[in-house]
Amino acid sequence: MTRDNGSPVGDNENSQTAGPQGPVVLQDSHLIEKLQRFDRERIPERVVHARGTGAFGEFVPTADISNLTVAKVFTPGTKTPVFVRFSTVMGYRGSPEQARDPRGFATKFYTAQGNWDIVGINKPIFFIRDAIKFPDFVHANKPGAVTGVQDANLAYDFFAHTPESTNMLTHMYANEGMPDSYRHMDGWGVHAFKMINAKGEVHYVKFHWRSDQGLKNLRPQEIPASIGNDWNMMTNDLYGAIRKGDNPKWDLYIQVLSPSDLDKFDYDALDDTKEWLNVPEMKVGTMTLNRVPDNYFESTEESAFAPSRLVPGIEASEDRMLQGRLFAYADTQMYRLGANYNSLPINRPLITVQNNNQDGPMNSGHRTGEVNYEPSGINEISQDPKYKYTQTPLAGTTQQIAIHKQQDFKQAGMYYRALPASEKADLVTALSGDLRHVTNDKNRYTMLSYFNKADSDLGARLERALGADPARVQSLSAKLSDN
């Protein structure tokens, strides 16, 4: 055993004292260091996705998509190391993994062109379409500012004034919103991204991880017993499978649209509350998770994901929610871990990082030389114009206006109608169970009108479950637009 400076420890169980009855002396540097380090073991908890589980693996491309992108991660014959962090969204560290909550599905690719992060969830859509609403969405769903307890009245006060959330709520209260393990769920990048090929041609894409293990879910009546039996069930299942060699796999699929395709739908194709319906998927690779981290903190807790971590051939789209995440995710990691968080082993690219960023707490970048600026005639850092961002046509003026084609309810109804009868019943059971806790009458009827607008059968079942007035629901629903 050693101290942090490497010197050996002679006794780790007895402090140095001034004689047999005297006080402990300040010069016991091992005691002082041990207590100091213990006092500083915690870093700020993630505001969202605090409860997480990570695993290492590799990604192997299975299709040549050089016609779409120059990203080397898709070069046939390559193998790219990955780290994946699964999580719940609203729960604190140590909270039950079976809470009804979206599941984070964040993948870090350590590619030959730097790190690329797909920071997604287990659903193809999200609750809101503009990042300016994200702090409010989280505040309404986190424990209350007065009681410190989550409150359905606060959550549904927000949702009642955010009709665009109806589609995601319908998905979340369906059985697929409660996977029985991380192995048995899909993942999506949610947003549209751009792929750029060697000719500079742009295509819009969405990413979808399909579980090779299949999808398995918990029904509403199974959740309490599951939590009671093991509220770390999803972590234990994942690690148990990997440790016995049953390595989970996901196939990566993409949907592709040309820029001219974006306006052909009756919804906004860059609205993250919408799926790209009737757009075919193509398989482009397979990811296998095969190693449990040796140290939870240094991997899962210190891992930092951000959708702005892109590589040549993959760029951000104009999706409004994504645009805000490009800033916010990297910024929150810098707050949690410090300015040099990308130098931590779990976040460090496999290639050499070479730029003029310097200093700051815990810097271990080993930058050398006097020239820490550019341009310079003394020591020029080479740049290649082929890696410039693609040019995007712009029109109009700056504005603060909602998107034109909002269509808040149609896809929610389509999703509900596609469910088997038993899962429709489970969705009503789960959703009515939470709506029953909403004591604000106006908000409860507003939510019922949203679900009724999505599908009249869903609305009628919820009305019966809650003993609501159908005429009042119908009146409110008739005033809603689905354009």
Where are the chain's structural domains?
Answer: 52-343, 410-478
- Reduced DSSP (H G I as helix, E B as strand, rest coil) percent helix, strand, coil of the chain, to 5: 35, 15, 50
pLDDT at 394: 86
Place of tokens 């961002």: 389
SS3 of 471, please?
A: helix
Sorting pLDDT into bands at 50, 70 and 90, what band is 229? confident
Interval 216-224 mean pLDDT: 92
Is pLDDT above 80 for 163?
yes
| Pairing label, strands 193-196, 187-188 | unpaired
Q: Which tens digits make up the pLDDT trace of 80-129? A: 999 999 999 999 888 999 889 999 999 999 999 999 999 999 999 999 99
Percent of the chain with pLDDT over 90: 83
Q: What is the pTM of this model?
A: 0.94
What are the DSSP E strand ranges found in 62-201? 80-88, 103-111, 114-121, 187-188, 193-196
Give the other-Cβ count within 10 Å of 247's Cβ: 16
pLDDT at 261: 96
Phi-psi region of 214 (alpha: psi -120 to 50; beta: other; left: phi over 0): left
For residues 165 and 358, the model is more confident at 165
Interval 147-153 mean pLDDT: 94
pLDDT at 328: 93
Q: Measured in Å, how far apart are the chain's first and last C-alpha atoms? A: 67
Domain 52-343 grouped into CATH 2.40.180.10: yes
Give the DSSP per-residue string, 219-270: -GGGHHHHHHH-TTHHHHHHHHHHHTT---EEEEEEEEE-GGGGGGSSS-TT
Is pLDDT above 80 for 310?
yes
Sorting pLDDT into bands at 50, 70 and 90, what band is 321? very high
pLDDT at 129: 97
* Distances from the Cα of 440 to the Cα of 3, 156, 288, angstroms: 58, 9, 47
Count CA within 13 A, CB hemisphere, residue 146.
2
Q: Which tens digits make up the pLDDT trace of 447-473? A: 999 999 999 999 999 999 999 999 999
pLDDT at 362: 82
Is pLDDT above 90 for 383?
no
Sorting pLDDT into bands at 50, 70 and 90, what band is 369? confident
Interval 4-28 mean pLDDT: 92
Q: What is the mean pLDDT of the chain?
A: 94
Q: Which tens digits make up the pLDDT trace of 417-452? A: 999 999 999 999 999 999 999 999 999 999 999 999
pLDDT at 402: 93
Token code pair at residue 434: 């939470």
Cα 39 vs. chain centroid, distance in angstroms?
30
pLDDT at 272: 98
Is pLDDT above 90 for 377?
no
The letter for the amino acid at 332 is T
pLDDT at 266: 95
Sorting pLDDT into bands at 50, 70 and 90, what band is 371? confident
Q: How far apart are the C-alpha atoms of 63 and 68, rounded to whole Å?
A: 11
Interval 252-268 mean pLDDT: 97
